[in-house]
């Protein structure tokens, strides 16, 4: 089981270089991240964008060894289309100097995009450093689905479990988060959590262990769970945290990044190829972690998850 981003980097180093296609290759932070992945031995860049601007950005980094190819195009719509077409040949897609909406429109294009019959969700991974022996914990979905219904939550769980399996977590423990650990008819997220937990208990959802509703403290602290008298194989040991809506996930993810200073990364799952849509505020170290996660997810050997 991979327990840290450093372990992930070491694991990827043994598997050869993966192509990282950047829509808007002029972005200096994206280039720094690709250069680092190249130096580690698992990435190389294919840059789609304004060639002159790309070359200016590359010159600031001192060398161009990490760049395999530059595809010359200035129009943003064409950048997105060509990047999507290129990633179909293999690799992972990274947003550079281009609007998120423009790239996502290309990714989700019904005719030539990267759509599948799956729900697309953002899987956020962070290094939990509260104990001496840190571990990677997953959280979803704080980036795509605004207020998911039960069926969408099932797909969000499926995507997160798939990433957990890639990280070597054989039977991930999934906590469905809410403000309380009891079902309250006035709190819709607790009802959804109760339904999904029962589905898991009855064998309707396999490949993971699910419990909820659980408040955050009960999900990640065995002490808190014991104090509240919660007996559960998930409580205090969660590998995956499923949030009830996008606002909760977004705030939680940014709190981990800016207050806790935990190493983090995230990747879109549910498309034909992994897609990285970093925030404009993400520094190159976060983008580097995102690249590593997306390369892990681009592995064609996928384990079946029955949901």
Residue ranges of the domains in the chain? Answer: 5-115+271-298, 121-258
- Along the 307 residues of the chain, how does pLDDT read in single tens digits? 999 999 999 999 888 899 999 999 999 999 999 999 999 999 999 999 999 999 999 999 989 999 999 999 999 999 999 999 999 999 999 999 999 999 999 999 999 999 999 999 999 999 999 988 889 999 999 999 999 999 999 999 999 999 999 999 999 999 999 999 999 999 999 999 999 999 999 999 999 999 999 999 999 999 999 999 999 999 999 999 999 999 999 999 999 999 999 999 999 999 999 999 988 778 889 999 999 999 999 864 333 333 4
pLDDT score for 95: 96
Asked if residue 69 lies in contact with residue 46, where contact means CB atoms within 8 angstroms, the answer is yes
Instruction: Please tell me the predicted confidence (pLDDT) of residue 94.
Output: 96
Q: What is the pTM of this model?
A: 0.93
- Domain 5-115+271-298 belongs to what architecture? 3-Layer(aba) Sandwich (3.40)
Q: What is the pLDDT of residue 266?
A: 95
Position 175 scores a pLDDT of 98
Secondary structure string (H, E, C) spanning 194-223: HHHHHHHHCCCCCCCEEEEEECHHHHHCHH
- Topology annotation, domain 121-258: Isopropylmalate Dehydrogenase (3.40.718)
């Amino acid at each position: 089981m991979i327990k840290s981003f450093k372990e992930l980097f070491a694991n990827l180093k043994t598997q050869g270089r993966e192509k990282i296609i950047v829509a808007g290759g002029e972005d200096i932070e994206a280039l720094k991240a690709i250069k680092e992945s190249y130096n580690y031995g698992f990435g190389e860049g294919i840059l789609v964008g304004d060639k002159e601007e790309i070359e200016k950005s590359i010159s600031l980094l001192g060398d161009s060894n990490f760049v395999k190819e530059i595809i010359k195009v200035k129009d943003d719509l064409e950048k997105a289309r060509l990047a999507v077409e290129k990633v179909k040949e293999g690799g992972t897609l990274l947003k550079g100097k281009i609007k998120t909406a423009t790239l996502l429109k290309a990714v989700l294009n019904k005719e030539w995009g990267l759509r599948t019959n799956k729900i697309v969700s953002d899987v956020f991974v962070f290094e939990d450093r509260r104990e001496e022996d840190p571990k990677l914990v997953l959280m979803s979905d704080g980036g795509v689905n605004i207020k998911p219904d039960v069926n969408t939550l099932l797909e969000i769980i499926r995507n997160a479990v798939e990433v957990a399996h890639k990280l070597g977590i054989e039977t991930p423990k999934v906590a469905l988060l809410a403000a309380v650990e009891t079902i309250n008819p006035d709190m819709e997220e607790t009802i959804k959590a109760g339904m999904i937990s029962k589905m898991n208990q009855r064998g309707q959802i396999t490949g993971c262990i699910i419990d909820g509703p659980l408040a955050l403290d009960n999900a990640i602290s065995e002490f808190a769970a014991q104090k509240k008298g919660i007996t559960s194989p998930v409580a205090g040991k969660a590998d995956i945290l499923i949030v009830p809506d996008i606002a909760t996930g977004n705030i939680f993810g940014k709190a981990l990044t800016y207050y806790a200073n935990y190493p983090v990364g995230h990747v879109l799952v549910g498309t034909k190829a992994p897609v990285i849509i970093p925030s404009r505020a993400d520094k190159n170290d976060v983008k580097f972690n995102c690249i590593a996660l997306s390369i892990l997810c681009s592995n064609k050997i996928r384990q079946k998850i029955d949901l």
